[in-house]
Structure 1
Amino acid sequence: MKTKGFVIPHEHGAWAMVSVPFLFGMMAGQPQWLHLPLFMGWLFLYLSSYPFLQLLKRTTNREHWLRWGLIYGAISLLCLIPSVILNPSLFYFGPLLLGLLMINIWHTKHKSERAMLNNICAILIFSVGGPAAYLLSGGGWDRTMALIMLFSFLHFMGSVFFVKSVFRERKNLRWINYSRIYHVVVLIIPFIVGLPWLFIAFIFSTVRSFIFAGEIVRPWKVGIIEIIGAVQFLVLSVAIIQQ
């Protein structure tokens, strides 16, 4: 939406997706001062993607979308430069992000943004912030980095299933069952990867799905539920993965 000339993304859940994986990766290692400009660069990279994607969909106010896409993109570039110069390994995330973004662009041009593949790629993009922050925290291309990426992705995919099951697919019994099956399977994955106690971080999401899926839930209540879920996921995941 447009507010006082500014372009602000209206996907409120995306703010948690931008910040939670990043904080997860940062707190799993040793926080550095470079995390601040890296996060700002990451945030403005997301902000720049929104007007550019709108530019592909809309035929009006194209100069407006282009202007704000370039402004946000320029700010992102300036913020990312210090971190990338001091840690060139961050460049390796570029091709992955670009490939996933191309899939998002394809779905946007074909007006199929709600497709599951598009959702998966979008959440993978957000989840990359965790490994990048972890690498800057003194971590390496190791098992912990992979787990940060994996569990960030699993948590926010659960959000996709949950939100659809209380809004767009609320009357779709098949989708409600998919959501509940997904959340049960996610509880098992920590045991498979050797971090059994991490299943605790997904209990809230699973209970949420079984209680509210298919029910009429006001948007503000869904927002509160999602905020609580994201915070408890971050706190518990960091505490467990550091052991």
Structure 2
Amino acid sequence: MASRALRRWLPQQHGAWAMLLVPLLAGMLLAEPSPWHAVLLAAWLLTYMALFHAQQWLRLRRHSRNPRAAGRHTRPALVFTAALLPLAAALVIHAPWLLLAAACALPLLAVNCCYARANRERALVNGLVAVVPACGVLPVAVLLGGGTWVQAGLPALACLLYFIGTVWYVKTMIRERDSRAYGWASALFHGAALAVAWLCLSPWLTAFFVVCFARALVMPRLGRMRPAAVGAVEVVLSVLLLTAVVVAYG
């Protein structure tokens, strides 16, 4: 019973957790350790969970035939928001510039809400838009630890390139596995990401993007894979990305 309730409250979007945590952890590890990083981590996760349930409420309110389906997300959304507010207030009092960061993220989050309301959460554009604020938390964590924009720029670019590539790649493995257009687009993006890594990033990240490019070319040709297997590969690559970023720029 408890595990069922936990599944209802915690989002089961496993790929989203990696995208949320890797840039944030990278920013924390690249900066000087600060107690405010713990507050930021808690606030960041609460923001995601509150938004997830709010978006599910928006989606189900319009598209579910079950009149009670949307209501199941009301309480989690309110509880997570209530837990978030004091943490957000403390962060803003400590670092008022966080209001500007939040203002930059709001239009992107609004796009995600619009896609949820239209029941098109799996749309390519929706996934690509979600990557930007997720990677944007890296410079926030760096600045909160006393770092600089210069220190945060290249690591944030590395995360952005990887997670945008992952959106394309996962499409070619699951929903668009029979689409040649998606396959070519994924391969071209990963090739471009590798070129950017070679020109702008470190040798460690160049080697990492060689692996990403190879998996974008080879894995779709291996036939159907279960989503769990696709996700497991991305978890391993996410850990490798975090390691490469910290080794290269830490």
TM-score where L is the length of structure 1: 0.91
Letter in 2 for 1:216: R
Alignment CA distance shift 1:237-1:194 (3 Å): closer
Q: For 1:1-243, what aligned pairs fall within 5 Å after superposition? A: 3-4=4-5, 6-59=8-61, 60-61=67-68, 62-140=70-148, 142-193=149-200, 195=202, 197-214=204-221, 215-242=223-250
Shift of 1:225: 0.6
Conservation of the 8 A alpha-carbon contact between 2:154 and 2:201? no
Identity fraction in percent: 29
Conservation of the 8 A alpha-carbon contact between 1:41 and 1:78? no
Shift of 1:144: 2.8
Conservation of the 8 A alpha-carbon contact between 2:158 and 2:205? no
SS in 2 for 1:58: helix
Gaps of 5+ in 2: 62-66
- Please list every run of at least 4 consecutive aligned residues from structure 1 whose deviation after the TM superposition is greater than 6 angstroms: none
Letter in 2 for 1:169: E
Gaps of 5+ in 1: none
Query: Could you say which structure has the higher helix fraction?
Result: 2
Shift of 1:197: 4.6
Shift of 1:194: 5.6
Letter in 2 for 1:107: Y
TM-score where L is the length of structure 2: 0.89
SS in 2 for 1:128: helix
Conservation of the 8 A alpha-carbon contact between 1:200 and 1:236? no
**Distance across 2 between alignment mates of 1:153 and 1:71:** 31
